Amino acid sequence: MNTKAAVAVVLIALGLVVLAYSGLSFTTPGKTIDFLGLHIATTDNHFIPPAVGAIALVGGIVLLLVRPKSV
């Protein structure tokens, strides 16, 4: 399996996961706020919409189907 096929398989798998869950949401640690001696931890919420999953899926399929031109 060459690099192009591996990238295509990863794109297809990620696209299917995002579409299966109707988008993915995840949190990442945000900045810590120091206010009057209190340390307040924050989080940032992120959302990956299903359209991104569909684009990844189509991109992976195209990568698998397109053959390089011979020169």
- Give pLDDT, residue 30: 92
Which segments in the chain show pLDDT lower than 50? none
CA atoms of 53 and 42, how far apart (whole Å): 28
Q: How many domains does the chain have?
A: 1
Inter-CA distances, 26 with 44, 48, 63, Å: 8, 9, 28
- Give pLDDT, residue 67: 81
The reported pTM is 0.75
71 assigned to some structural domain: no
Its domain, for residue 54, covers 3-65
Burial level of 53, CB count in 10 A (0-12/13-18/19+)?
Answer: buried
Amino acid in position 5: A
35 assigned to some structural domain: yes
57 assigned to some structural domain: yes
Give me the residues paired with residue 38 across strands.
Answer: 35
